[in-house]
Structure 1
Amino acid sequence: MRITIEPLDVETHVGALHRWVTHPRSVYWGMLAATAADVAAEYHRIAEHPHHDAWLGRVDGAPAFLVETYDPARSDLAGLTHLIDDLADGDLGMHVLIGPTSGEPVAGYTTAVFRAVMEHCFSDAAVRRVVVEPDARNEAIRRKNTDAGFTELREIPLAGKTAMLSVCTRAAFAATSPAGHLSPENLERAERALVAKAIAEFAHERLLAPVTTGGAGFALHGPVSTYSFCARRFALDHWVVDAGSLIRRADGVEAPLDAQAFIVEFAPVLGIPPQLLPTYLEEIAATLASSCWKIAHQRLTAAELVDADQQTVEGAMSEGHPAFVANNGRIGFDIEDHARWAPETSNDLRLLWLAVRRDQSHLSLGRGVSEEALYAAELGGATLARFASRLAVLGLEADDYRYLPVHPWQWRHKLAITFAPDVARRHLVLLGEGEDEHRPQQSIRTYFNTSRPERHYVKTALSIQNMGFMRGLSPAYMRATPAINDWVADLVEGDVELKERGFGVLRELAAIGWTGDVFHGLSDPSAYRKMVAALWRESPVPRLAPGERAATMAALLHRDHAGASYAAELVRASGIPARAWVRTYLDAYLRPVVHCLLAHDLAFMPHGENLIMVLRDHVPVRMFMKDIGEEIAVIGDRPLPPEVARVRADVPFEDLSLPVHTDVFDGFLRYLAAILDDEGVLPEAAFWAEARACIADHAADHPELAEAAARYDFLRAEFRHSCLNRLQLRNTLQMVDITDQSESLMFAGTLVNPVAGPVAGPVEG
């Protein structure tokens, strides 16, 4: 994309200017009713003004955008005397209007234009800051401004609008370049945190064995390096390594911390196959890059998040999966893709929509959902008419097609290339963007509708490599997803205990997949069969009562840039004793998971990102479970409807309790217990005592489940230690077979069960 900026020739370009400023999307420009003569007069006035200039921007030679620059001290701003301290010598005012484009949208187009405008402004060495004053209601341009490094100062009254005065320094703009976050300072912090996590998690999984050096001190000896550090050890052999205390010595000389060098040095002990070591190192590098971005850009404190909405909390997460060391791989995204589409950037996107041939696709629908109602509710009549018109222009019948959403990256990098013959044959037809804005969630291929929050989440295939999997979606595997969700929802809604707890599921109520490609005709399965599919999941928003807010449960493990914890701030803000807060939370989370196993042999995969908390007065009072189609299992020989049969799991007797012991205790609660202890909110022993009481009270309330309780034995003295990183280290391309996950598990002895009896406090040294 070649972008140039030149002085505006009013007579030559008045026609284009008139089309741009009167387009409905230019409502904030304030000239929707202007005639061509009005536009010409306005820009002749600017041309004659000694301190105001207009510029024409071109993209690949074609007129594409309008820029105005001006001296703020000789503008309407100068008349606002209370702003005198906000304006300074070297300030340059700027307005930009991007003309409507024809044809299909180009990912990153607006960002590229905006960067070119900012570079044009700073090309004058005398310019110290760029000043903008967009309409305060224009959320889209305000987000674009802040992404470019602007700081919002205050709302100000201007003619016809309330504006948000914002400024951007040279340094702030430079820091927002696609690689601006990759600085030595940010990398040092990211390396230190990741090496600390690697030591903690690999020691937890008994791959590495640090030795005590006295007090809280430990040392880890490698073939080349020795790492010394302070740490605390908690129940479940949970290590909390003090990243600030880490020192690496190589050949007796202090050396910089280097996460990739750490992995290479310990690779034989970690069991990484040599042929997969480069891939794992790439995921480590990408995880470091993501951490650098968060260090550079995430500034909300844990205290500020306490009253934030669901999407603000979702985008503020500074850590991915708590157990996996390489947890932000996203191999396939380039640096601009990350800046545009990574969950931590909190950028909205518009999904692209394909028409897929009806005779080559399958749409599975949950109870009470029809194809017509689904598309009408999710797209609306105007968009459906636009899609039908697009097909008609191509000589195609809308009735011969279904509509399938795709991520813009997936279209550009996979579908338009890998399935080029199918696009040419009109088996796949690109229809254009939907009208709604969507926000990527922590699970990266799931999107929340920010334009209409009551509409469903959308989940699409996204063929990037991330945390042990290619993130595709299988049309064949998803075919039964709505039926499975209906069955689980019926079970949950019909259970008195779960109903009393307010526990619910967010149904995946429709799934679509296209199978008309050559790859589906091959005998062997492959990732190519998982590139064109999507599903719709219920939003929690319509199910929130007044005074309730939603947040991902993963947020309870979040720490801000200063190390303060979101969970601890919630406890403090609630105003109730920490022990009561924890018990309310456990009754909303742990008790329903236990009950589902005992009463129904139904196992969820209840890690942090799979649950949406409902908060009332800063306390989690109930939960919504999601990702039902892929991450539930029925243990044993309980009768199942044929369409649900694939969720049956054959689990060895000694592993029956692992959905609680591994997924809840080891996978989530060990981190939360340590965080609350570390912040002085609640001693770890008290936390686990409440977990034990939660299970015991459920047993007392349900004597009819005593036989099942004895079989699952959640209060046993110890349980098998299932290890997640070992799976990824063994095969970073596909760490488990999703159709038989229990057979893929790897174990490292046993862990002492923290709810089996009295729990000691953290071990120092």
Structure 2
Amino acid sequence: MRTTIEPLDLDAHLALVHAWVTHPRSAFWQMQGATPADVEREYRLVEDSPHHHAWLGRVDGVPAFLAETYDPFHSELGGLPELRPGDLGMHVLVAPPEQPVRGYTRTVFRAVLDHCFADASVRRVVVEPDSRNDKIRALNRAFGFRELRTITLPTKEATLSVLDRDHLTPENLERAQRHLVAKAIAEFAHERLLSPAPDGDRWLLTTPAGDTTYSFRASRLALDHWAVEPASLERSVKDQPAPLDAQELVVELAEVLGIPDPLLPTYLEEVAATLAAACWKLTHSTASVDDLLTADHQTVEAAMTEGHPGFVANNGRVGFGADDYAAYAPETGSTVRLHWLAARREHTHLSGDPSVQDTRVLLDAGLDPEEYLLIPVHPWQWRNKIAITFAPELARGDLVHLGESADEYRAQQSIRTFANVTRPEQPFVKTALSIQNMGFMRGLSPRYMAATPAINAWVHDLVSSDPTLQECGFSVLREHAAIGFTGDAYHRAGVRSPYQKMIAALWRESPAPRAGEAERLVTMAALLHRDDDGRSLAAAMITASPLDPAAWVRAYLSCYVRPIVHCLLAHDLAFMPHGENLILVLRDQVPVRALMKDIGEEVCVMDGRRPVPEEVERIRADVEPDVRALALHTDVFDGVLRHLAAILHTDGVLDQDAFWAEVARCLREHAEEHPELAEAVATYDFHRAEFRHSCLNRLQLRNTVEMVDIADQSQSLIYAGTLHNPVA
């Protein structure tokens, strides 16, 4: 069957359309009893609307179906929170056939969907069939539509459903493979797992078996950074051209990567999931850097596509299915309602601010707030873990499922942390999530988190009382309450396991009230972002700002590096200051201050002799001096600035030598302004000629399930010689 679709010519086809829409089989079209004049009046309105279009479909040249497409934002669906840019509404009516033909309706339906997605700007198709129309709802589901919820429209109770553009295509996969193979070669070479050899104006990498080679162009920059050109990559197997394949690359290099055999499949699964996520982003993450220059915090957060600049397998999310990805992955921008779990107080520990407890939820459920506490739970966690894994506790009433939250939330880049989009000033919520992602099961330990609010309060007071940090505008987003349930067999067994990290949560201050007039918030990860056309957001910010590139970098370093350095020198206080853990406040596209988050799990006082309050003793460690300096050298220089410097250098915005000169200037000026810290400056020796090369991917390759011991991270590090210090 050959299908074609053309604009509806109402003058030519009014009688035909009237017969179709008034046929008894078209009852859900809601035009039973309509006269030809009624039908003409209705479709003249469509004809005159810039947001609504009618189409006539033919099968083998014969008129066979009617379709409508419309902009949901300019329809009776307008205002629904589920709508997103790139949505297109659709209606389909198949003409009643004289004799049923097997597969006829599905052929028509596929043709209309192809027509919708032929417009590259369309990311999703939206339908809202009458909830009683079981046949069309079943057809929608068969074609992959997700039913979101029942909505009330003026003429019906409808089932709002959406279909995402298919992202697993050969074209998307080829782009994703090329990008990930380039990144893998660059980062594995950076960590000295690979040693590409010069080959004229290119580099050549030969696998241990000797039968596979990779040829590419690359620039070697400061900190042994490999800026591999993805478009230049070529692979040959036994002297024959072969397609790029990130999983095959891992298998070919398994001998030198050192992945334990039992864990190799797990790592390959995380690579596959990273490729799947990349394909999804290539299809759906269409915001340009120009769009992001004026976008709000949550729009920028959802637009990030890389996951992590250093880790190769960085979007594993092992445990999520396809529907879970669409519903909960941060890059989908989906809104989520968290679930409330009531936990019996005698088995639950709440620390910090008790006002986070909404006792009305308990009272509405008929529960006594004196007996129960509320724990926010990720929807996936409830369905896939708690409802089964904690069945005895639910049956006894130690846990009670209370349903969904009233407020809607949106996942952040850290995937288990949520911003409140209904009330942006309300706290972010971090939940336990038992999926495997980037070297960890993403749970939360009730025992470990008990001290989190006290730690945050202590760090906040220290930062707030330090004049230099206040001058920088540096502040922390406090995690002011934490809760965890321990009344289960997994805790009573006394054996350390992921099952002890499945029911816990914390509340963190929202950054929204911190932005003043004419200011906006962006995740610092945005500085390393490139859009679908390869354009750098950082470069676009610099161009749109009133500053020249060196001055812009100077302003950024004053917000970021200067406070990090001061915390180390003045307080031996180290954060985990990677791109996702900082929020930048921008004014005229220039960073003016920074907000640090994820304090409870990722802060450390690195001098075992420095006194701290008893309730925050957990964060103190006795770290040797040269490892202390890695809090700047590894976490900031190698983890963040190496990538930003390479982007600005390769894009011709700012030469890498000029970039690192600004970093050196930032360190030097801070030291000159603080002569009282001269001893600490000498101890940390940030300008040393070389520093130990601590490697992230080596950690994940060694143990894809738990790459470091959270309680003693410094002892888990793996080194690969030293790196020349670009500020020496």
- Under a length normalisation based on structure 1, what TM-score does the superposition of the two structures give? 0.80
Distance across 1 between alignment mates of 2:395 and 2:25: 40
- Cα distance, 1:50 vs structure 2: 6.7
Structure-2 change in CA distance of 1:556 and 1:133 (3 Å): closer
In the alignment, does 2:684 pair up with 1:712?
yes
Q: Name the structure 2 match of 1:410.
A: 381
Q: Distance in 2 between matches of 1:89 and 1:662?
A: 59
Deviations 1:593-632 (A, max 9, x none): 0000000000111000000000011011100000000001
**Partner of residue 168, structure 2:** 182
> What residue in structure 2 maps to residue 285 of structure 1?
272
Q: Which of 202, 205, 223 lines up with 2:191 in the alignment?
A: 205
* AA of the residue aligned to 2:613: P
The 5 Å alignment of 1:288-299 reads 288-299=275-286
Distance in 1 of aligned mates of 2:43 and 2:650: 50
- Who is 1:653 aligned against? 625
Structure 2 partner of 1:626: 597
**Equivalent of 1:598 in 565, 569, 572:** 569
By how many angstroms is 1:523 displaced?
2.2
Report the secondary structure of 1:629's partner residue.
helix
Match status 1:554 vs 2:525: yes
Kept in 1: contact 2:57–2:64 (CA 8 A): no
The DSSP-based 3-state class of the residue aligned with 1:399 is coil
Deviation of the 1:129 alpha carbon: 5.1
Q: Match of 1:574?
A: 545
2:721 matched residue in structure 1: 749
CA contact 1:437–1:451 (8 Å) conserved in 2: yes
2-side partners of 1:213 and 1:691: how far apart? 33
Task: Show the counterpart of 1:267.
Answer: 254
Q: Report the CA distance shift for 1:357/1:690 in structure 2 as closer, same or farther (over 3 A).
A: same
Aligned to 1:63: none
TM-score (norm 2): 0.84
SS of 2:193 mapped into structure 1: coil
1:219 Cα deviation after fit: 3.7
Which of residues 161, 170, 179 in structure 2 aligns to 1:193? 179
- One-letter amino acid matched to 1:235: A
Contact 2:273–2:315 (CA under 8 A) maintained in structure 1: yes
Q: Distance in 2 between matches of 1:212 and 1:515?
A: 57
CA distance in structure 1 between the aligned counterparts of 2:39 and 2:683, rounded to whole angstroms: 78
Secondary structure of the structure 1 residue equivalent to 2:324: helix
Q: What is the number of residues matched between the two proteins?
A: 641
Per-residue deviation, 1:350: 0.5
Q: Distance in 1 between the 2:372 and 2:66 partners?
A: 55
Q: Distance in 2 between matches of 1:745 and 1:537?
A: 29
The Cα offsets for residues 495-552 of structure 1, whole Å up to 9 and x where unpaired, read as 0000011000000000000111110011211000000000000011112111110010
SS in 2 for 1:329: coil
Deviations 1:54-95 (A, max 9, x none): 9999xxxxxxxx876999984556237653796353389xxx
Q: CA deviation at 1:635?
A: 1.0
Indicate if the aligned counterparts of 1:129 and 1:167 stay in contact, CA closer than 8 A: no
Give the match's secondary structure for 1:291: helix
State the distance in 2 between where 1:576 and 1:134 align. 38
2:364 aligned partner, one-letter code: S
Equivalent position amino acid for 2:69 in 1: V
- Deviation of 1:215 after TM superposition, in Å, equals 2.4
Q: Secondary structure at the match of 1:194?
A: helix
* Residue in structure 2 matched with residue 258 of structure 1 by the alignment: 245
Give the partner amino acid of 1:374. V
The answer (yes or no) to whether the contact 2:72–2:87 under 8 Å persists in 1 is no
- The residue type paired with residue 79 of structure 1 is L
Give the AA of the match of 1:385. Answer: R
**Does the 8 Å CA contact 1:53/1:68 hold for their aligned counterparts?**
no
Write out per-residue CA displacement over residues 245-288 of structure 1, whole angstroms, 9 at most, x where no aligned residue: 11100000000111111101101100000010000000000000
Helix, strand or coil at the partner of 2:599: coil
CA distance in 2, matches of 1:533, 1:52: 56
Pair 1:79-2:61 in alignment: no
Name 1:131's counterpart in structure 2.
70
Going from structure 1 to structure 2, the CA distance change for 1:53 and 1:135 (only over 3 Å counts) comes to farther
Aligned residue number for residue 722 of structure 1 = 694
1:135 to 1:354, Cα distance in 2 relative to 1, 3 A: farther
CA contact (8 A) 2:479 2:599 kept: yes
Query: CA distance change for structure 1 residues 311 and 74 in 2, over 3 Å: closer, same or farther?
Result: farther
CA distance in 2, matches of 1:246, 1:167: 33
Q: Closer, same or farther in 2 for the Cα pair 1:147/1:84, shift >3 Å?
A: closer
Supply the distance in 2 between the matched residues of 1:445 and 1:659 (Cα, whole angstroms).
25
**CA offsets per residue over residues 149-188 of structure 1, 9 Å max, x none?**
559xxxxxxxxxxxxxx99716565798568211111111
Asked if the contact 2:456/2:600 (under 8 Å) is kept, the reply is yes
Task: Name the structure 2 match of 1:35.
Answer: none
Contact 1:613 1:623 in 2 (8 A): yes
- Kindly state the Cα deviation for residue 142 of structure 1 after the two structures are TM-superposed: 6.9
Tell me by how many angstroms 1:52 deviates. Answer: 6.9
Identity %: 55
From 301, 320, 338, the counterpart of 2:288 = 301
Match of 2:232 in 1: 245
AA paired with 1:238?
H
Q: Does 1:361 align with 2:348?
A: yes
Q: Is the 8 A contact 2:52 2:70 kept in 1?
A: no
Task: Give, in angstroms, the shift of residue 126 of structure 1.
Answer: 2.8
- In 2, the alpha carbon distance for the partners of 1:711 and 1:588 equals 24
CA, structure 1 residues 77+240, in 2 after alignment: closer, same or farther (shift >3 Å)? Answer: farther
> Within 2, Cα distance between the matches of 1:268 and 1:659?
31
- Return closer, same or farther for 1:610/1:73 CA change in 2, 3 Å cut-off: farther
| DSSP 3-state at the match of 2:721 | strand
Partner of 2:13: none
- The whole-number CA distance in structure 2 between the counterparts of 1:68 and 1:569 is 51
Q: What letter is aligned with 2:363?
A: A
Distance 1:685 1:192 in 2: 29
Q: In 2 relative to 1, CA 210–446 (structure 1 residues): closer, same or farther, beyond 3 Å? A: same
Say whether the 8 Å CA contact 2:72–2:89 is kept in structure 1: no
The structure-2 alpha-carbon separation of the partners of 1:644 and 1:386, relative to structure 1 and needing over 3 Å to count, comes to: closer
Kept in 2, the 8 Å contact 1:323–1:725? The answer is yes
SS at match of 1:432: strand
After the TM superposition, which residues 209-608 of structure 1 pair with which residues of structure 2 at under 5 Å, given as runs? 209-223=195-209, 224-365=211-352, 369=353, 371=354, 373-376=355-358, 384-390=359-365, 392=366, 396-608=367-579
Change (3 A) 1:522 1:500: same
Q: What's the Cα RMSD here?
A: 2.7
**3-state DSSP class of the match of 1:87?**
strand
CA change 1:348–1:701 in 2 (3 A) is same
How far apart in 1 are the matches of 2:76 and 2:554? Answer: 42
Partners of 1:662 and 1:554 in 2: CA distance = 17
Counterpart CA distance in 1 for 2:248 and 2:385 is 33
Q: Which amino acid aligns with 2:587?
A: R
Match of 2:336, SS? coil
Distance 2:264 2:334 in 1: 32
Cα gap change, 1:55 to 1:653, in 2 (>3 Å): farther
For 1:471, the aligned partner's letter is: R
Q: Which amino acid aligns with 1:408?
A: P
- Write the deviation string for residues 86-145 of structure 1: whole angstroms up to 9, x where unpaired: 6353389xxxxxxxxxxxxxxxxxxxxxxxxxxxxxxx9634553355557966647447
Gaps of at least 5 residues in structure 2 are 1-17, 91-112, 126-142, 145-161
1:666 is aligned to 2:666: no
